[in-house]
Amino acid sequence: MATNNGVNLNSSGIVKYNGSGTFSSAGDPLNVADGGTGAASFTAYSVICAGTTGTGAFQNVSGVGSSSQVLLSNGTSALPSWAAYPMPVSMAFIGRTGSTPPSDGVTYYLGFDETTINYTQSTGNTRIYMPKAGIITKCLGAFSNTSPSSNENVTIAIRLNDTSNTTVTSSLTFDATSGTFSNTSLSINVVAGDYIDILLICPTWSSNPGNVGTSFSVLVT
């Protein structure tokens, strides 16, 4: 090391001052604890992040991303990474039983039939196709009823590709003229081109409801 006024310097001549009249040589690159970054270089235009410890060398995110990409967290103890913006898609639909009240023990597919807007008992024009890959995370809806029923539970479910059902609620009742249902903790993986049906699974009522109308929406993130 070179010497300057009695202080040993490294090849870059970096010194640090403790504020009390004492100088000493500092690391090269200058350490984080000494007010530096702890790194000799970074990728041009990259995003700089703190180190793996409070005094660890700074680090940069891998690459600089592409136009319209965003930084997404990879959780604790990991650098974020560039990715396409995960645009959520919300879809809203309406179905109704038309001139006939729902029947005991029948499963209805909610949506638009080809000639009416009544419920049907099989998939078809009631299918809701997914425009993007993602996860269905929420389903919310409401109903109206021309004549309240007894209080047996009705189940609302999402049926994926006419294969598997995921329950939205199993405790809905039609014993009022209107009401709501929701599930904000769903996790149904879908890819573009998949389809879902919204099912109304009826109990056996001791007193049946009148004409029931429903509306519902699903959120794909």
What mean pLDDT is reported for the chain?
83
* Cβ-based burial of 168 (10 A; exposed 0-12, middle 13-18, buried ≥19): buried
User: Average pLDDT of 44-52?
Assistant: 91
- How high is the pLDDT of residue 19? 60
The pLDDT tens digits for 167-182 are 999 999 999 999 999 9
Pairing of strands 89-96, 134-145: unpaired
- How high is the pLDDT of residue 105? 95
How far is the CA of 11 from the CAs of 8, 16, 24, 148, 162, in angstroms?
Answer: 10, 14, 14, 87, 72
Tally DSSP H helices, then E strands, for the chain. 0, 18
pLDDT at 37 over 50: yes
User: Average pLDDT of 121-131?
Assistant: 83
How far is the CA of 55 from the CAs of 17, 42, 79, 90, in angstroms?
Answer: 18, 17, 16, 44
3-state SS, one letter per residue, for 99-164: CCCCCCCCEEEECCCCCCCCCECCCCCCCEECCCCEEEEEEEEEEEECCCCCCCCEEEEEEECCCE
pLDDT band at 93 (very low <50, low <70, confident <90, very high): low
Higher pLDDT, 127 or 22: 127
CATH architecture of 89-220: Sandwich (2.60)
User: Average pLDDT of 155-171?
Assistant: 96
Contacts 24+ apart (CB under 8 A), 148-151: 148/174, 148/175, 148/176, 148/177, 148/209, 148/210, 149/173, 149/174, 149/175, 149/205, 149/207, 149/208, 149/209, 150/175, 150/205, 150/206, 150/207, 151/175
Considering the chain, what percentage of its residues have pLDDT values greater than 70?
A: 77
pLDDT at 114 over 60: no
- d(CA 101, CA 170) in angstroms, rounded, equals 20
So where are the chain's domains? 89-220
pTM of the model: 0.63
